[in-house]
Amino acid sequence: MPASHTSHTSLTSRPVPLLVGLAGAAAEVVALVGAAVWMLVDRPEGGADSLPYGIAMAVTLLLFAGLVGLGVRGLWRGHRWGRGPVVTWQLLQGITVATMWGLLPAAVAATALALSVVVLVTLLTPAALAATARTLGPAAGSRD
């Protein structure tokens, strides 16, 4: 592999704010998958009639995890399209936590809200924006 290609994809070539944001978003993906498993194993309310609810919630959480995971992968590769799913999830998560503040354990709510803010802020810093500015379309100025 050429040296120029390996240096572009190395960990050190990415700005720290981008790495922090991606790590936070990756942690959210893991948490979403864990919550999906929990919905199937230890369903809320625990009754047999809650199985369809548990399955629906698990599928929804896995879809969100997949979308955020694809966004993280895109941002890791420097593509700006990945920012949309990750930023959208941060907004959804932050609003959901804020509206459910009294229903969630305080530590869970505070952690989720703080993580959402940190990921959002770090991915929107100028350094992170510059590092993830590539597009998938034809090169600028080409007529393809």
Which residues is 134 bridged to in the sheet? 79
Tokens in use for 140?
């600028």
Band of residue 53 on the pLDDT scale cut at 50, 70, 90:
confident
Whether the pLDDT of residue 49 is over 90: the answer is no
Contact yes or no for 112/93 (Cβ under 8 A): yes
pTM here is 0.81
Q: List pLDDT tens digits, range 3-47.
A: 444 444 555 689 999 999 999 999 999 999 999 999 888 766 666
Angle at 94 between CA 93 and CA 96, to 5 degrees: 65
- The predicted pLDDT at position 138 comes to 59
Q: List pLDDT tens digits, range 79-122.
A: 999 999 999 999 999 999 999 999 999 999 999 999 999 999 99
DSSP of 41-105:
HS-TT--GGGHHHHHHHHHHHHHHHHHHHHHHHHHHTTBGGGHHHHHHHHHHHHHHHHHTTTTS-
Cβ-based neighbours of 74, under 8 Å, separated by 6 or more: 81, 82, 83
Angle at 87 between CA 86 and CA 93, to 5 degrees: 90
Contact yes or no for 85/32 (Cβ under 8 A): no
Contact yes or no for 40/58 (Cβ under 8 A): yes
Which residues is 79 bridged to in the sheet? 134
